[in-house]
Amino acid sequence: MGYVAVTGGQKAIEAANRLNQWYRIKDAEHSLETTEIAKQLRHLTDRVMSEGGLYAPEYAALAIKQAEGDLCEAAFLMRAYRSTLERNYESEVIDPGQMRVIRRISSAFKDIPGGQMLGPTMDYTHRLLNFALENENAQALKNLLKEQIPELNADQPLSFPKVAGLLREQGLLFPPKSSGVLFDITRDKLTFPAPRSAKLQILARGETGAMTALAYSSMRGHITNHPTIGELRVGYTELTIAYPLDSNESLCLGEIMLTEIETINAFERDDQGDVKLRLGYGLTFGQNETKAIAMAILEQGLETKGSIPSQDEEFVLLHVDSIEANGFVSHLKLPHYITFQSKLDVLRQTQKIAESEKKEMRKE
What residue ranges bind another protein (CB under 8 A)? 1, 5-10, 12-13, 76, 79-80, 82-87, 184-193, 314, 318, 323-324, 326-331, 334-339, 341-346, 349-350, 353-354, 357
Instruction: Please tell me the number of Cα atoms within 13 Å of 20 on its side-chain side.
Output: 12
Q: Give the residue from 220, 233, 358 showing the smallest Cα distance to 293.
A: 233
Comparing CB distances to another protein, the nearer of 5 and 133 is 5
Comparing CB distances to another protein, the nearer of 331 and 363 is 331
Comparing CB distances to another protein, the nearer of 120 and 327 is 327
* Cα(68)–Cα(48) distance, integer angstroms: 13
Under a CB-based contact definition with an 8 Å cutoff, are residues 94 and 239 in contact? Answer: yes
Strands 268-269 and 279-285: what pairing? Answer: unpaired
Is residue 24 within a helix (H) or strand (E), and if so which, with residue range? helix 9-25
Comparing CB distances to another protein, the nearer of 5 and 223 is 5
Is residue 258 within a helix (H) or strand (E), and if so which, with residue range? strand 246-264
Comparing CB distances to another protein, the nearer of 178 and 350 is 350
Strands of the sheet containing 246-264, edge to edge, are: 100-105, 228-243, 246-264, 279-285
CB of 188 to another protein, least distance (A): 5
Comparing CB distances to another protein, the nearer of 14 and 136 is 14
Residue 244: count of CB within 10 angstroms of its CB: 10
Instruction: Please tell me the number of Cα atoms within 13 Å of 230 on its side-chain side.
Output: 25
CB of 350 to another protein, least distance (A): 5
CB of 164 to another protein, least distance (A): 32
Which residues, at least 6 apart from 227, have a Cβ–Cβ distance to it below 8 Å? 263, 264, 265, 280, 296, 297, 300
Strands 275-276 and 100-105: what pairing? Answer: unpaired
CB of 330 to another protein, least distance (A): 6
* Cα(137)–Cα(303) distance, integer angstroms: 51
* Cα(10)–Cα(349) distance, integer angstroms: 37
CB of 339 to another protein, least distance (A): 4
Comparing CB distances to another protein, the nearer of 8 and 115 is 8
Comparing CB distances to another protein, the nearer of 80 and 118 is 80
CB of 29 to another protein, least distance (A): 25
CB of 215 to another protein, least distance (A): 22
Comparing CB distances to another protein, the nearer of 35 and 330 is 330
Is residue 238 within a helix (H) or strand (E), and if so which, with residue range? strand 228-243
CB of 292 to another protein, least distance (A): 23
Instruction: Give bridge partners of residue 243 from the DSSP assignment.
Output: 246
CB of 31 to another protein, least distance (A): 18
